[in-house]
Amino acid sequence: MDIDKFNIYRGKGYLVVTAIALLFLVVAVVNIPHIRRGVEFTGGILAIADINHSIDVDALKVDLEQHGYVAPSVLQYKTAYGYHIEVESPLTPQLIKGEELRDDIDALLKEYADYANRGKESEGKPVLDKALQKLKELESLAGLNETASTPLDIQELSTKSLNTLRSNEEARLSSILEKYIGKIFSLETVTPMLSKSFAEKVKAAGIASAVLAVIFVFVVFKRFAPSLAVLTGATSDILIALGFLGLTGIPLTLASFAALLMLIGYSLDTDVLLAMRILKTGKGDPRDKAWEALKTGSTMTLTGLLSFTVLFVVALILRISTYYQIGAVVLAGLVGDLFATWGINAVVLLHAIVGDKK
């Protein structure tokens, strides 16, 4: 069978691929604002359990709400070994207040230290008194009533109070979960400071990846039009994957963000392959070069799709949330890559750089 007779770039067949790619992008842009961030980026409490019986999800949600947990998320999945339970809740107002008080105390102690370093402890005493007032508020939330006088005492007691408050909140949540799940579950608290740190590191990683990708592409091609085409294809893949997150409700977590970074590499691979075939190979019709690149690149992408489909199915059966998120995001991005690379990137290159010679 002569597969070359299906060359979409020798007629108008590429328009179908382009239309699908543009449809994907429109759906993605509409759904990106609906992306739900995981506890790593919002702060909260995450409980995970694998048990051999199902639970009443609605009853657990109502119970949590009645105990002050705002908009809790309770997910239950059937696995090969029983049931996988994930309970996610934002931090309670008490814990948020405790975290804020601890931050205020740290800032006040730092300010007092500046006075002390200049030998002006008396001028800094109002600052130390204010730190003591904040400490009393924090102790009250934690149910403690201890005395501190020196900055070191205040620092140590504020740490103890906050840790006690966290333990109390986790114990309160545990007492609710035990009624439904039993005692076999893991509990993780992500504080606002930690979630802020995660967000900053993820932002830095994203910016660094984008900058390095731009530099790499412009160094390789040294021309604006092909570089822009390659970057357009990679950007389209990421947008489609982000839209998939918003559409399906899969949260943006460290795992799904890692999958997005992985997609940048996959996308640049196929986009650079296409541009190299069209611009830097020998003589020949550019439409045929684009078709040859499509055959090679789509084979690479299909191999990736097969691999991550296996990962996704295994994660779906065993309900391994990290692998599930990675598999789902990469699959969405690779499907988007098939259409964005060969329906947008290739068309831009043929029209803007080589010319669509028909």
Determine the pLDDT at residue 1.
Answer: 55
How far apart (Å, rounded) are the C-alpha atoms in residues 38 and 333?
20
Determine the pLDDT at residue 141.
Answer: 92
Chain centroid to CA 70: 22
Contact status, residue 339 vs residue 232, Cβ threshold 8 Å = no
How far apart (Å, rounded) are the C-alpha atoms in residues 269 and 262?
11
Give this prediction's pTM. 0.75
Phi, psi (5° rounding) for residue 81?
A: -115, 5
Contact status, residue 87 vs residue 73, Cβ threshold 8 Å = yes
Determine the pLDDT at residue 2.
Answer: 61
Q: What is the mean pLDDT of each run of 10 residues along the chain (358 residues)?
A: 73 86 93 87 84 89 88 80 83 87 93 90 90 93 89 93 90 89 78 79 86 86 80 87 90 88 85 80 76 86 91 81 88 90 86 56
- Architecture (CATH level 2) of domain 3-38+193-354: Up-down Bundle (1.20)
Contact status, residue 198 vs residue 258, Cβ threshold 8 Å = no
Determine the pLDDT at residue 157.
Answer: 94
DSSP H helices, the chain, are 14-31, 39-42, 57-66, 93-117, 121-142, 151-180, 192-221, 224-248, 254-279, 286-318, 321-340, 346-349
Sketch the domain layout of the chain as residue ranges: 3-38+193-354, 44-190
